[in-house]
Structure 1
């Protein structure tokens, strides 16, 4: 996942290489894709930094209906998180972090209301689908991305280092095409991790 700046109750980013095809109407949500990569909520304790790339364990997926679009929100945990071994599917979230999914759903329900937009809705009776279902969605969106980047009709840059079958495949990227991402600030040897660099889950029970 690519990490973007914190403004959320988890680390929020995107899952590359994926694309939610706006020409595809999902048979379960009855809505088209939102023309974005798959969004992802990483629920581990360490707060990420902008541009960070992490390997995550997928747990499930939430189908947010943003207007007429399906805006999938993948739920995952960093494989290096201390609790990663305890999380293997969607039901493990309520066991180890009770209330987090409810808070996540409420966050996405109301986050556009300050801009005067209506509350968002969800498919599947507002439930979250499991890991197996999430994996199918990811595979479908990955296939859509591969088709998109292989097609010259979309007016997008298709230069890449990963798709050998693509006409835009190169063995290296020119320096002027590399995105200048910030690097993580390293702590001095022996210093404790700042409390500001962690998420804290609070159980109200």
Structure 2
């Protein structure tokens, strides 16, 4: 199963979009049409890379837009770039989401006592390759961190690209601690402080900030897959989310390939990128 992308608009502007295609060249939704499982028997999942390692532009699946392309988040009318909190530069993993998952905002998680954040579940790929925005990879899940983001449950799944040469050595969260010393501590630190330069308080965590193991993480992902099934079949309220898809035949939101193509045709034409503001390279120093 292979996927490709098509850019529209100009990178580093409000109109920039990355649309997705399947192997036949038909437009699809990355949220709804890319299977969660790459190999269900082996618990290997697909992951959509939104933000490559070392970059700052907060690209994300546009959950409220038709076909859910990637676009850059906007805050207070400005494109959002995640700050560099020393010693970190941008995102410290390939950051993205697992398709066909949904953190239900109507469901209070018994482990965090908070409801979901209304997004697909997030994943941090710790593999050595720096991926591209919109790249679809296969990941082995290793564990998870229970971030509480402004009162919402926002699981951060830790995984590794199955194409990584060292993937066979990573089977659980403690393997990350052993083989990549300091990486889990840096991950916790990153999520704790990344909003502080924006004037916000440090983030909080469930389980006192302890990473949960592989089995716990897999069950968490599977539960969000079940929430997505209810969403796409209209058994729960989608609110402002777009559930437009081209392949979930039992879904009332399933559309034709012609309808999907019309969405892309209405987007801005691809053009020359705007430069990234030089302020994005600033480092913020945190006083403990």
Structure with the higher strand share, 1 or 2: 2
**Runs of 5+ consecutive residues of structure 2 not aligned to the other structure:** 1-46, 56-89, 268-288
Pick one of 103, 117, 121 that aligns with 1:38.
121
Aligned ranges 1:1-205 → 2 under 5 Å: 1-5=47-51, 6=55, 7-151=90-234, 153-154=237-238, 155-170=240-255, 172=257, 174-177=260-263
- Partners of 2:164 and 2:218 in 1: how far apart? 21
- Partners of 1:133 and 1:161 in 2: how far apart? 32
The alpha-carbon deviation at position 170 of structure 1 amounts to 4.9
**Runs of 5+ consecutive residues of structure 1 not aligned to the other structure:** 181-205
Report the 3-state secondary structure (helix = DSSP H, G, I; strand = E; otherwise coil) of the residue aligned with 2:158: strand
Superposition TM-score, scaled by structure 2 size: 0.59
Q: Please provide the CA RMSD for this pair.
A: 1.9
Report the 3-state secondary structure (helix = DSSP H, G, I; strand = E; otherwise coil) of the residue aligned with 2:122: strand
The alpha-carbon deviation at position 150 of structure 1 amounts to 1.8
Aligned residues: 180
Residue 82 of structure 2 corresponds to none
Do 2:145 and 2:156's aligned partners in 1 also have CA atoms closer than 8 Å? yes
Structure with the higher helix share, 1 or 2: 1
Do 1:149 and 1:156's aligned partners in 2 also have CA atoms closer than 8 Å? no
Identify if the C-alpha distance between structure 1 residues 157 and 45 changes in structure 2 by more than 3 Å, giving closer, same or farther: same
Query: What CA deviation, in whole Å up to 9, does each residue of 1:76-108 have, x standing for no partner?
Result: 000000110100111100111011000000000
Report the 3-state secondary structure (helix = DSSP H, G, I; strand = E; otherwise coil) of the residue aligned with 1:54: strand
